[in-house]
Amino acid sequence: MPRDGTPDIRVTGLTKSYGDVVAVDAIDLDIAAGEFFTMLGPSGSGKTTTLRMIAGFEAPDEGTIELAGEDVSRLPPYDRPVNTVFQDYALFPHMTVQDNVEYGLKVKGVKKGELAQRAQEALDMVRLPRHGARKPAQLSGGQRQRVALARAIVNRPKVLLLDEPLGALDLKLRQEMQIELKSIQREVGITFVYVTHDQEEALTMSDRIAVFNEGRIEQVGPPAEVYERPQSEFIAGFVGVSNVIERDGRRYTIRPEKIDLIEDGREPQPGWHVEPGVVADVQYVGPVTRYHVELDDGGRLQVLEQNLDEGSSQVLEAKGRRVRVGWRPEQESDIDSTEGGTE
Q: How do the domains of the chain map onto residue ranges?
A: 9-233, 244-334
Question: Whole-angstrom Cα distance, residue 95 to residue 103?
Answer: 9
Predicted pLDDT at 161:
95
CATH dotted code for 9-233 = 3.40.50.300
**Average pLDDT in the chain:** 89
- Check residue 1 and give its pLDDT: 40
β-strand pairing of 260-262 with 243-247: unpaired
For the residues of 249-278, what is the DSSP string, one character each? Answer: TEEEEE-GGG-EEE-TT--PPTT-EEEEEE
Residue 215, classed as helix, strand or coil, is: coil
- Write out pLDDT tens, residues 6-39: 899 999 999 999 999 999 999 999 999 999 999 9
∠ Cα 335 337 339 (to 5°): 80
Specify the pLDDT at position 66: 96
CB 128 within 8 A of CB 149: no
pTM of the model: 0.86
Alpha-carbon distance of 56 to 50, in angstroms, equals: 10
Topology (CATH level 3) of domain 244-334: OB fold (Dihydrolipoamide Acetyltransferase, E2P) (2.40.50)
Q: What is the pLDDT of residue 263?
A: 77
The Cα–Cα gap between 17 and 29 comes to 18
Beta strand segments in the chain, E: 9-18, 21-31, 36-40, 62-67, 70-71, 82-86, 159-163, 191-196, 208-213, 216-221, 243-247, 250-254, 260-262, 273-285, 288-295, 300-306, 322-327, 333-334
Residues (pLDDT < 50) of the chain are: 1-3, 338-343
Query: Dihedral of CA 200/203/204/206: which sign?
Result: positive
For the chain, how far is it from start to end, CA to CA, in angstroms? Answer: 36
- Give the model confidence (pLDDT) of 263-297 as tens digits: 777 888 899 999 999 999 999 888 889 999 999 99
For position 340, what pLDDT does the model report?
41
Q: How many Cα atoms sit within 13 Å of 190 on the Cβ side?
A: 25
| Cα angle value 191/193/199 (rounded, 5°) | 130
297 phi/psi in degrees, rounded to 5:
-90, 10
Write the pLDDT tens digit of every residue in 219-248. Answer: 999 999 999 999 899 999 899 889 999 998
Q: Report how far residue 215's alpha carbon sits from residue 15's, in angstroms, rounded to the nearest whole number.
A: 9
Please list, residue by residue across 47-68, b when 16 or more beta carbons sit within 10 angstroms of its beta carbon and e when fewer do.
bbbbbbbbbbebebeebebbbb
pLDDT reported for residue 312: 57
Q: What is the pLDDT of residue 318?
A: 80
> What CA–CA distance (Å, rounded) separates 85 from 163?
6
- Provide the CA 74 distance to its chain's centre, in angstroms: 28
pLDDT, residue 314, reads 65
